[in-house]
């Protein structure tokens, strides 16, 4: 029997692509990113930049480290995003007066004003998902639980 020949029997159910939670998450993430792209292009943001802005619209003046914790990003990934947003005039990076090792991120007036334009995005996503709001909220909670389990928390 040729060891390089394909197996005569199909893979067990545990190895089928459509039974993989990782693939379901990956392909859903691709679809979600595709949905968001034109919506975010209209307001001049990439998806990672949008996530930064969402956090700052919730709580302005966070430190870089607090922002990174909230987004599950390290400073090496976050710093270039912040520099681009600063270059676009949406935020400022200032040394903390009490501890100069910390950098605080604050929205500019343009960054705060962008929130009004972005407020329509969640409704577009809800409509395109063809799910009810309670369904999406339940899915979000399930995914946060899964994330916590995977992160060891």
Least confident of 33-47, 70-84, 89-103, 131-145: 89-103
1: pLDDT strictly greater than 60:
no
3: confidence class by pLDDT, cuts 50, 70, 90? low
Q: 58-68, pLDDT tens digit by residue?
A: 999 999 999 99
2: confidence class by pLDDT, cuts 50, 70, 90? low
Got the DSSP string for 55-106? HHHHSTT-BHHHHHHHHT--HHHHHHHHHHHHHTTSEEEEE-SS-TT-EEEE
Tell me what percent of the residues of the chain surpass a pLDDT of 90: 81
Q: Tell me the three state secondary structure of residue 138.
A: helix
């Amino acid at each position: 029997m040729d060891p390089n020949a394909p197996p005569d029997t199909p893979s067990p159910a545990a190895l089928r692509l459509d039974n993989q939670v990782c693939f379901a998450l990956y392909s859903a993430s691709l679809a979600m990113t595709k949905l968001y792209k034109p919506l975010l292009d209209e307001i001049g943001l990439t998806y990672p930049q949008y996530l930064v802005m969402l956090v700052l619209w919730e709580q302005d003046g966070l430190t870089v480290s607090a922002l990174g914790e909230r987004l599950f990003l390290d400073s090496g990934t976050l710093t270039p995003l912040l520099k681009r947003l600063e270059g676009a005039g949406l935020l400022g990076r200032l040394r903390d007066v009490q501890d100069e090792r910390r950098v605080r991120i604050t929205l500019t007036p343009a960054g705060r004003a962008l929130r009004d334009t972005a407020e329509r995005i969640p409704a577009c996503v809800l409509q395109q998902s063809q799910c009810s709001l309670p369904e999406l909220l339940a899915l979000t909670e399930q995914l946060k639980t899964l994330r916590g389990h995977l992160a060891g928390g």
